[in-house]
A and B are shown apart, each in its own frame.
Chain A
Amino acid sequence: MSDDLVTLSVDGVEVSVPKGTLVVDAAKKIGNDIPVFCYHPKLEPVGMCRMCLVEIGLPMRDRATGEPLLNEDGTPQINFGRGLQTGCTVQVSPGMVVRTKTDPVEQARADVIEFLLTSHPLDCPICDKGGECPLQNLTMRHGRGNSRMVFADKLHMEKHVPLGDLIFLDRERCIQCARCVRFQDEVAGDPVIGFHNRGRHLEIATLSEPGFDSYWSGNTTDICPVGALTTADFRFGARPWELTPVATLSPHCPSGSNMTVSTRREAKAGGRSVIKRVMPRQHEAVNEIWISDKDRFVHHFAESADRLTQPLVRKNGKLVAASWTEALDVVAGKLQQAGTAVAGVSGDRLSNEDLFLFQELFRKGLKSNNLDLANGRLAGGDIVAQVGISSGSNLKDLGKGDVVVVVASDLHEEVPVWWLRLKQAAERGAAIVTLNVRGTRLDKYAKHALRYVPGEAVATLRQLVNQSKVETDGQSDDPIAAAAATVGSAGNLVAFYGAEGLTYDETESVAKLLANLLLLKNGDGHAGKKNNGLIPVWPHNNTQGAWDMGIHPSFAPGYKALPEAGLDAHAMYEGAASGTVKALYVLGADPIGDGLMDGRGKLDFLVVQEMFLTATAAAADVVLPAQSWVEREGTFTNAERRVQRYYPAITPVGDSRADWQILAQVGERVGLGKPALAASLVFRDVVKAVKQYKGMDYRSLAKYEKQWPDVGGDDLYYGGNAYENRSGLGQQWVAAAESGKVGMFEVAETAVKSSPGLKLVRTAALYTPGTLISHSAALLGPRMAQPTLSLSTADARKVGVADGNRVEVTANGMTMTATARVGDAPDGVALISGVAYVPGTAVVQIRKLQEEKVA
């Protein structure tokens, strides 16, 4: 037996567990459920609630000789001490004997339940947790059924306290286990709630303004073992047993967070099946059991009253309702008429099936390579295919000796799940190196926080990469050299790169330089090894899939280079304005609304496939109503190249159709043959065309295995209310470096263009207004990011702007108004957040607006 394993017996059953395991976890491994309230496998044990009291005995030893004392029959003598011990704080030791079913233990459990219920209001019939409540379940299992406490002496406290806009607190129901407080401190790193007062009057209070200011607040409701914390969204929405859980994926985030939507048919919605809540679904390699509030609360757009319900065709200058047959005939006819002057842009929130058929329609049906993402911010999909993070990697495995490099990205605002997991990696001992134009939240956990001057990101990164090649002692005053020494000594190396303040071309250079960093040491580098590789911080949930499916002017599906590249999105928009592009197909994107395209220009024909009447759709000749992600099935590929399935959850809105269906029907009309009847069949064609997806099908993507810790199931008290994953863990495709040698990338030297003037850099904010979030009810309204311009104190003085002033910002011909914040930016840089995407760094003009007189 290995030295790291410890054998103990729990109720007579022998179990071997790693050293340092807690008694409750050891018992759990053999299916012995020791009840807990305050303990949670993802949090540090505190032993506050006393529910896990058990008898723990240790083998006795002779004091003089140290030899084990034996009974007459040869069994070791066990000393159980004088009292019960908390199973959640005691670590296992060899020969330990645990008894969990004895009378004193049962008595203790009943007593603890009795105490916890002294002031509990017993309002289970109306409680949102009722039915999936650990307190309710454990009371039924271990409680006495009556109480010696006087009912009339119950303490009455506030029932409905808003902790911010999203979470409500019921002070009577709270059993003071501190799971929420500890989650915010330990896991989320946002210590914005805390205990106030003592004893019976102890209560949870929010310490931030606005209240409960964290992107993770919803998770506290999942791990709350009672109904004290509930979401504003689900308040009185339904009883948990009435809900139908359907597995889905985040429609926003490139991490591919696994979620479950709980649906129910609703009379208020005319008998339709609607989403009642969104909960996390366990995937320990993706999002563990956490989801950000954006994933949890931004789903209402699917049921918005503004959704398009039928095809619209422009007649006499007006968009009027039409039949599908008519609309599709018009689209197919007009696209074919345009000949080679046809082009297509797509959003990156659509499924792989949609994007693949879009590509088939253009390349095979219309014989055009004019295909691109509508708003390509980040390049390097082809580089990720070479040196992307190796399959089987898990950010949870990163720890001491490992290094994570994050370039040009604010992960806390862009992909909160990664921020959370990197923070935890740093706490386990991994060194984080950030390289940004300004300070980000991750800097607090970073070993080296480097800065680059706007426009010089590539040069600075090149310096870092070059110096990492050289062996140094790590003792250097130069921050880049010090960081390079850290990177050079990395055990495992993971590199993230984003697009903050970078142009599209610069992101490509950054990706290549990081790829070289991973490939250093002549092929014996990091790339291709487990827990090593490149992760792009894509803007949306399926940007990776769009690259894989060949939504690119110069790549066919599977990154096959095309002999002749088509127009990129920028060229298409210019072509539309000048008239060289005659027909444009816009799939799930809003280039006019995003300011990328200046109206429809000289286009003969514009077709938009959308959920809402966006600015682009309003200018179109035909608008095809598409279904949202919860109405149909499909697959998304996350930035770690994990292909995952999601399932249909609610009744489709109106006469809308799934994107892949619409595209297949247009395809049929341009001569691509009978459309596929199911998304799974389209995926079969995807697998044939994309060699990286070989071996995948809908069945293999739905495979799952038991994960640790246990969540869901009957033992809700243990891991919280997150759903167990029974719908598939997905499959990661293999990067080229894993199966063969990959050469270094050439990155051309670019002359550093230093131009005078203040540079504008757009920074991300999680709740930046957009089509989906704006159609998602008023819940997040107060939290929405407002346009904000941050300047350094010196720069603010130069342009004569004070904190809180309204300013007009002009850069690259775009004008925005924003509120000024002084002091948060480095010198020479103006940071703007809460606005649509602005690429690169542009010289900015700032004009103070006259204060409006307040009457």
Chain B
Amino acid sequence: MSEALVVKTMEEFVAQGKQPEILFWVGSAGSYDDRAKKISRAFVKILNKASVDFAVLGSEESCTGDVAKRAGNEFLFQMQAMMNIEVLNGYEIKRIVTCDPHSFNTLKNEYPSLGGKYDVVHHTQYIKELLDSGRLSLEGQVYKEKRITFHDPCYLGRANAVYDAPREILKKTNADIVEMKRHKKTALCCGAGGAQMFKEPEKGDMDINVLRTKDALETNPNIIATGCPYCNTMMTDGIKAHEKEASIAVLDVAELIANSI
């Protein structure tokens, strides 16, 4: 990537005696996974464009523990949670945005009873805020007349009933938004949740991501949009399994917006 991004850490904010508008929780995937890193960069491009005064924790951020919790390791989860809460509370963080629905869910729902109470939003919700308030406007017509289908991440959709924000901002790209037969409440999982991302699936007759990609292909899309780095990986692999990687792209909502500004 050539464009220089402006990313400041909380440490730097404190050194200047300032508080950011919002903390961007990058998450482990967004920090280390090659594909997800591009999503982080796209989102920061949006934040920079809208002149959002945001911070990241950098090396002070650690795994939320979500995946350990879903795997049954409550100890590890709570260790991670309490360490993160200590950092977040130390910096008096009020508001958090993240591109990862799993981090979003656990920060929003499972941290409060452990002492971490923050206003947590998913990046699609935050982008919608920026667009609604006029801080961000889309100029490009890159996706005009393209067919985009949105795959609902379980931990954004069913788990937290956020269905509209990603769709509303996608519409602003002037793309043609097409729904899969199973969407919103009845959307099929991509297969990565519940720690499946980190293990081989159990014996069966098909992989879940291949089945879900089939749902998406039935809408005859140009682009499959997601709002989760894990869904992105699964759908990308699914497209390859269906040998459609040449004609169909899997992109995060943040990338579609970043390309339209």
Bind each other: no
- Which residues on A are within 8 Å of B, measured CB to CB? none
- Which residues on B are within 8 Å of A, measured CB to CB? none
